[in-house]
A and B are shown apart, each in its own frame.
Chain A
Amino acid sequence: MIIGNTSTSWKFFSWFFALALISPIVVMLVGSLNNAGDLFSHLWATVLPEYIQNTLVLGVLVALLSFCFGVPAAVLISQTNIVMAKQLRWLLMLPLAMPAYLVAYLYTDLFDYAGPVQRLLRAWFNWQSPNDYYFFDIRTLGGAAIVISLVMFPYVYMLTRTAFEQQDRNLLRASRLLGCSERQSFYKIALPLARPAIAISLTLVIMETLADFATVQYFAVNTLTTAIYDTWLGYGDFGAANALASVLMLFILFVVVAEQRARAGQRHQSSRPNANQERKKLSLTQQIFGSIFCWFLVLAGFLLPLTLLIIMAIDYADYPQLIALIATGKNSLEIAIYSATIATLIALTLALFHRLHQSRSRMIPLQISGFGYAIPGTVLAMAMLATFGPLDHAINDVAKGVGFQAPGLILSGTVFAIIFAFVVRFSAIANGTINAGISQIPKSLDLAPGSLGVKTLPAIFRVHLPLLKSSILVAWLLVFVEAMKELPAVLLLRPFNFETLSTQIYQLISDERLEQGALGAILIVLFGLLPIIFLNRQKDS
């Protein structure tokens, strides 16, 4: 089916949305080439190499740890008869709902010199001072890597587990008949076949790590995101901040290209899904170690931080806190609902255009609009400011010119910029989900309405949209939750006296007063659980 009479307008809107979403990035990159500012040269000569090094080391460490956590967990759940596999299967996804900066704060509180763990150890062993014993310092680059990995490894776990579960059982059987033991078959066949999934998940983890701001800021680890924030809000040098954001952008681009090139030679990999895998029977020792490993991840990445938050909430929750929570919660909800709705509508437009239009270039709008996911919130915020700041000035000049009162910063100084940034950043999630849903609809259903005399637009409403109902809901939910959690972009773009749950919690963490925001933190975690529960239930049904 082609989008008959609606073709031109559909094409126009698809390209318009795609170009609108990408334009701030282009403006920022072009701007940074022309106006890096003197501070950038100074930073380059002094601290920038260290920031870049920290950023790279953090990315590599988090990738390494996420691999070490995620891949064995995926193997244990998908390939063995580990006890409580059914429960662990979804429990291992829960850490995704926990923002890394919350875990960072809670674990610092727990493991610091003044924290309960060290106090207990000192009491038990009668140690008097830090010189009497060694205890790791969590507020380091390594500590940041561990904390971020504890909440990021589910990306690796989920994608690798799915890859293992979708492998053709006969491939492993063939390998056994050709003389390989179970272990050899795993290393020679199962693991190489899962490599693309592992590579994608590690890229996601690295991208999220490079985008992280609050955790590294709290641990005083200087990376490119903290540098951008400090340069803009601390030194007020927009040009230098813009240039730093462009450097970070290039790093992300490098990671994405490297991942795609690494997988280029493996595009032939396809396998036939087979859910009825023969599971390896673990020995008692293997069961014990495997269970300890999986439960440690669930505990450290989710249950322990949540318990600490609940204890804090019980101890410190009061009425004024609840009132503040309602106000900030309302702001968060509003932004998240607008962002999710707009991103989902754009994704629907682009995905249907891609599916139903016959032009060769129909893929491009979809690809362009998904590019934003690779861009850290801090960078996006700079791009919004670089684009909407001058636009606002232009609007004000025009308004004054025609005799109206200047409207002020209606784009860069309102929630418009935040919502725009969220739509740019999370469109890829909505696109991916809706596109996956569309690909499940047989192509013949595109053609059938035409043969029954039904035009394109009514056909979309009567055939495609009902079939995409669940994908639309999932896409909306995923964007909604990401928007509820997103911090760096809001920090840089929020209007004066405008707080969301995440900025309020970040502020309280910075002031070492999370106790007063524990309820809000729990709320963010609970919102984060929504898509996991929904997706899990959907899969079960």
Chain B
Amino acid sequence: MQSLINIENLTVELQAKIILSNVDLSLEKGEILGLVGPSGCGKTTLLNTLAGFIAQNAGIIEIKPTNKAPIEISINNMLPAEQRNIGMIFQDYALFPHLTVNENICFGLSALAKTEQQNRCAELLTLLELSEFSQRFPHQLSGGQQQRVAIARALAPQPSLLLLDEPFSNIDARLRNELMIEIRQLLKRLGMTAIFVTHNKDEVFTFADKIAVMHQGQVLQVGSPASVCQQPNSWQVADFLQLGSWLPASLINNNNKLSVRTLIGELDEQSIKYQVLADLAKQESNNQLLIKPNNIERCQLKEYNVVIEHISVTEQGFHYLLRSIEQNSELSFSQLSYYSQELHTLGDALSVRLKADSFHLYAVENNHL
């Protein structure tokens, strides 16, 4: 399939600080991309740059709609926001408070004849189940209804690309999932290409076809949610997506045979992802193993190796945070996750070990975990 949007080497500098650095992304028509990353990583800046609210310092944004002429935005050809044919749904919806629902939706249709405006508006009102609210003002609607109006308004001018800035953050947690599924279905039905920003990993897994994880102005990894979860290419990706907990590990090179030692067991070379190990060859300390909940099991050892520090109840059983009994080693840990159906009490000492599996080992920058 042909890409609808291509972003190449996009760089944005604001107040002498690089906010986006050589961002490359592409998106096919009808795809939904979720931009995730910690606060201040540049997600919203990227969205604002695409929309035309922030000028890029370098790089090219290419948009190739199917039924319109392609546009290329570069520092030599900065198109104003109103000429990009991009729609946006803001975090606060930005509904015009002095206009009714109907007037809000028709706002971007002033180039069309009145009857055509009303027809398109009626169509969207029906599609988003807003017909009975058409003469109301935004403040007379619930949060969910306001969001529907924002969607209808953004879709009315038939944009090539829809940007959504944390669209679900103002929605009640109980309704959020339902609404996400509904809006995703709507966008899919309309074949709308969309980029949405969130800092909530659950939202991105529900809503997006593809995710891009950002960190300090760079895109670290792009791919389907499943592939990114299975193969996080850096500790930042794994950490942001909370794919497991971190276990300090040391890398041992014994006659060219690599192994990894932790306070709850050793792993041989086969258990570790090689790609990651290769990066570690130069650095033999400050390594962390990514431990998924099912990677730990109880065992019968002569000595206990962990103590329960915290207990919480989950749908599947109990979630324990474990602290190593050994506290003076560089491999000591204090917040290792362990899930079990068994009920223990706070302060219980246990023996645990790593199950045979394949693990990811990362070199983590100092003091970042």
Contact = CB atoms under 8 A, between A and B. Distances in A.
Interface of A: 168, 170-171, 173-181, 188-189, 192-193, 266, 268-272, 278
29 contacts: A168-B94, A170-B90, A170-B92, A170-B94, A173-B51, A173-B53, A173-B88, A173-B94, A174-B96, A175-B107, A176-B81, A177-B86, A177-B87, A177-B108, A177-B154, A177-B159, A178-B82, A178-B108, A178-B157, A179-B82, A179-B111, A179-B157, A181-B82, A188-B107, A193-B97, A193-B98, A268-B97, A270-B97, A270-B139
Contacts of A181: 80, 82
Contacts of B111: 179
Interface string B48-76: 00011100000000000000000000000
A97 to B, nearest CB: 34
A177 B88 CA distance: 7
Interface in B135-153: 137-140, 153
B341 interface: no
Nearest to B48: A173
Interface in B226-249: none
Contacts of B153: 174, 178
Given A268-B137, A278-B53, A178 B94 contact: no
A472 B157 CA distance: 52
- Give the 7 A-B residue pairs with the shortest CB-CB distance, closest first: A178-B108, A170-B94, A176-B81, A174-B94, A268-B137, A170-B90, A268-B139
Contacts of A176: 52-53, 80-82
Interface in B3-18: none
B328 interface: no
B316 interface: no
Interface string B77-104: 0001110101110111010111000000
B312 interface: no
A101 to B, nearest CB: 39
B164 to A, nearest CB: 12
B254 interface: no
A168 B97 CA distance: 11
B114 to A, nearest CB: 16
Nearest to A266: B98
A179 B138 contact: no
A171 B137 contact: no
Contacts of A180: 82
Contact of B98 (A168, A170, A179, A192): A192
B82 A189 contact: no
Given A268-B98, A268-B137, A168 B88 contact: no
Nearest to A181: B82
Nearest to B139: A268
Nearest to A172: B94
A222 B87 CA distance: 59
Contacts of B90: 170, 173-174
A177 B154 CA distance: 8
A269 B157 contact: no
Nearest to A274: B92
B98 A173 contact: no
A168 B82 contact: no
